[in-house]
């Protein structure tokens, strides 16, 4: 496909041509298609097991916002390929996404999605609605279905603060797209079943951001406890989960010191009760 | 030597185009861009809330324009596409104001020479750096000339008069409130009334912000800031207290030199060109 970047720069260039769409991806697909994630490749053999995989992401809402946390492990088959990979990404001032599945494709998606959201915001002069953002991400994931069938699966978890409702919202996806809006909390990745079980018992409606951060750290620990592909907090190397908080003030990533504080508290309690907090029976 | 019928010399054509563009640009209101201690401030009197004269291009880059809305809007959209593509292709730190200014310059220059009508726009591309030495303000005129401004820039409307007042009052490393005060004083004709809050478009590129430095100041935040500006900065009296426009022209040279510490060139501030502003007599 001929790329229009070869044209001389001028208003004849597509850069200055209004194609009626505010989508960065749509513009790129005609301007420089080679830069977008490839969707039409046919791999001789599925390579799913040979590339690093990102594992567990958890997210939960709290009073006036949403919080997302991810462990730091990437695995290739049974080998730990990276101990400090980052899987939770800020996508704009009021949203973030976490990735599970093929790490490289997921990182590429997060990068493209961020540009996509900001591109719209700058062109239109308004922030895209939360539903709009979730739908846009669904289209991107749907476009990856061909690659997913060959082993390059990416499944994101999307969280955003909705200024109209003054609350956090969580959307999950499957390989064919989505979005599925989730009430209260959700988890994705290999350790998600264990994390979800933990969250089910620990989640409190109307909790503060501080309490909910602790809840997510507990859930990640429970996931790491039972899932070999999920990394627990690495106390010796001081590698802590990535925790992102979104509320009316926007997205902020908790500092390593803050997360280390939660982890220390949790480990101390687990020295006495190794399975973590015990939910009341009645 | 006989001239073919309808012949016009290239000089004449260029001069006519330049006159046409200048008149168009001078019809609108001025926009002021200036450095303050934490970055760059944009101020534009703009009665419309929907049609912006100031906007974000990229993480560290802002855009301000005067002239025909549809023409500079095209430039703005193209600039955003250029920045987003480069940031996506390489890294977000690889998008620079200089690159964008060059893209605009080549486009404006091409249109000025090749089209019947040049664009009736003047734009500022401003980039905020890690420190104030890294800040850059590029002013581009309709013919594609690029001016690397130091500290401040004014364009549109009675640009020379505004730039003069700005130069007189501008000091390095002003606080945001002081810088806003200076900008408003420069935008107000001597003895004139300041534009009401509802008709002000104000934005900053604040180097202390994370990720995206551009921030629009609107509503309560802007009013609070304006409340701080009621105490004008120490040195110059606000323009509204100047008795007449003659005070503009007979300013003491010391004031000019104090203001020009960060400004380009050593030309004295222009002296009150009131009335029909830009008659096109100045060289390109």
Average pLDDT over residues A145-159: 87
Interface test with B, best of A15, A31, A32, A119 (most B CBs within 10 A): A15
Q: How many structural domains comprise chain B?
A: 1
What does the alpha-carbon distance between residue A56 and residue A224 come to, in Å, rounded to a whole number?
Answer: 9
Is A265 within a domain? Answer: yes
Is B272 within a domain? Answer: no
pTM equals: 0.82
Is A120 within a domain? Answer: yes
Flag whether residue B103 sits within 8 Å of chain A, measured between CB atoms.
yes
- The residue of chain B nearest to residue A27, with distances taken between CA atoms, is B81
What does the alpha-carbon distance between residue A172 and residue A193 come to, in Å, rounded to a whole number?
Answer: 14
Q: How many CB pairs under 8 A join A and B?
A: 59
Among candidates B50, B52, B107 on the partner chain, residue whose Cβ is nearest the Cβ of A11: B107
Is A279 within a domain? Answer: no
The model's pLDDT over B48-81, given as tens digits with 9 standing for 90+, comes to 888 899 999 999 999 999 998 888 998 999 999 9
For A194, the domain range is 53-272
* Sheet of strand B152-155: strand arrangement: B152-155, B31-36, B39-45, B200-206, B214-217
- For residue A105, which phi and psi values (nearest 5 degrees)? -65, -40
* CATH number (domain holding residue A116): 3.60.20.10
Is A231 within a domain? Answer: yes
The model's pLDDT over B130-153, given as tens digits with 9 standing for 90+, comes to 998 999 999 999 999 999 999 999
Is B18 within a domain? Answer: no
Is B203 within a domain? Answer: yes
A55 a catalytic residue: yes
* Closest CA–CA distance from residue A167 to any residue of chain B (Å): 23
Helices B69-89 and B97-114: crossing angle in degrees, nearest 10, is: 140
For B62, the domain range is 27-262
Alpha carbon B247 to its chain's center? 24
Cβ-defined contact of A32 to B84 (cutoff 8 Å): no
Contacts of B80 in chain A (CB under 8 A): 119, 122-123
ipTM value = 0.84
Cβ(B83)–Cβ(B100) below 8 Å:
yes
Is B219 within a domain? Answer: yes
Flag whether residue B111 sits within 8 Å of chain A, measured between CB atoms.
yes
* CATH number (domain holding residue B253): 3.60.20.10
Q: How many structural domains comprise chain A?
A: 1
Is B196 within a domain? Answer: yes
The model's pLDDT over B187-235, given as tens digits with 9 standing for 90+, comes to 988 888 888 888 899 999 999 988 899 999 988 888 888 888 765 444 4
Among candidates B52, B74, B103 on the partner chain, residue whose Cβ is nearest the Cβ of A125: B52
Is A14 within a domain? Answer: no
Contacts of B87 in chain A (CB under 8 A): 115
Is B9 within a domain? Answer: no
């Amino acid at each position: 496909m001929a790329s229009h970047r070869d044209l001389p720069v001028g208003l004849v260039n597509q850069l200055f041509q209004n194609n009626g769409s505010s989508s960065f991806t749509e513009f790129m697909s005609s301007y420089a298609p080679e830069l977008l994630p490839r969707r039409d490749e046919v791999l001789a053999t599925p390579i799913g097991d040979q590339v690093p995989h990102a594992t567990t992401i958890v997210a939960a809402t709290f009073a006036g916002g949403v919080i997302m946390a991810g462990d730091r492990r990437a695995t290739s088959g049974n080998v730990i390929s990276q101990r400090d990979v980052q899987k939770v990404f800020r996508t704009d001032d009021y949203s973030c996404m976490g990735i599970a599945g093929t790490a490289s494709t997921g990182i590429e998606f997060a990068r493209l999605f961020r540009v996509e959201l900001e591109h719209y915001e700058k062109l239109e002069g308004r922030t895209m609605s939360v539903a709009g953002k979730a739908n846009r991400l669904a289209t991107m994931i749907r476009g990856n279905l061909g690659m997913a069938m060959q082993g390059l699966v990416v499944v994101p978890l999307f969280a955003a603060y909705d200024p109209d409702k003054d609350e956090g919202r969580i959307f999950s996806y499957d390989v064919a797209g989505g979005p599925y809006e989730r009430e209260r909390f959700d988890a994705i990745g290999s350790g998600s079943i264990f994390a979800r079980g933990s969250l089910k018992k620990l989640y409190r409606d109307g909790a503060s951001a501080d309490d909910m951060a602790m809840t997510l750290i507990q859930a990640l620990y429970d996931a790491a406890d039972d899932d070999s592909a999920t990394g627990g907090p690495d106390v010796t190397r001081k590698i802590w989960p990535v925790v992102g908080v979104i509320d009316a003030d926007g997205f902020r990533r908790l500092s390593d010191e803050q997360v280390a504080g939660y982890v220390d508290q949790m480990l101390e309690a687990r020295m006495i009760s190794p399975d973590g907090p015990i939910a009341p029976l009645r | 030597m006989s001239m073919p019928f309808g012949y016009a010399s290239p000089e004449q054509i260029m001069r006519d185009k330049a006159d046409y563009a200048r008149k168009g640009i001078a019809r609108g209101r001025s926009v002021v861009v200036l450095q303050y201690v934490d970055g760059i401030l944009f101020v534009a009197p703009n009665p419309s809330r929907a049609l912006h004269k100031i906007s974000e291009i990229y993480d560290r880059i802002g855009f301000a324009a005067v002239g025909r809305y549809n023409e500079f809007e095209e430039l703005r959209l193209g600039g955003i596409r250029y920045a987003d593509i480069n940031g996506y292709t390489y890294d977000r730190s690889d998008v620079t104001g200089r690159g964008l200014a060059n893209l605009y310059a080549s486009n404006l220059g091409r249109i000025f020479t090749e089209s019947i009508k040049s664009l009736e726009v003047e734009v500022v591309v401003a980039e905020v750096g890690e420190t104030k030495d890294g800040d850059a303000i590029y002013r581009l005129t309709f013919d594609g000339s690029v001016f690397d401004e130091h500290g401040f820039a004014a364009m549109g409307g009675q640009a020379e008069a505004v730039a003069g007042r700005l130069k007189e009052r501008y000091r390095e490393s002003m606080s945001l409130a002081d810088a806003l005060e200076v900008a408003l004083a420069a935008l107000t004709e001597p003895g004139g009334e300041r534009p009401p809050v509802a008709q002000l478009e104000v934005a900053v590129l604040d180097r202390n912000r994370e990720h995206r430095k551009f921030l629009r100041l609107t509503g309560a935040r802007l009013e609070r800031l304006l409340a701080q500006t009621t105490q004008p900065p120490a040195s110059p009296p606000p323009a509204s207290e100047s008795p007449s426009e003659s005070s503009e022209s007979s300013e003491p040279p010391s004031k000019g030199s104090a203001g020009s510490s960060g400004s380009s060139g050593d030309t004295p501030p222009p002296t009150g060109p009131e009335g029909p502003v830009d008659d096109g007599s100045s060289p390109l």
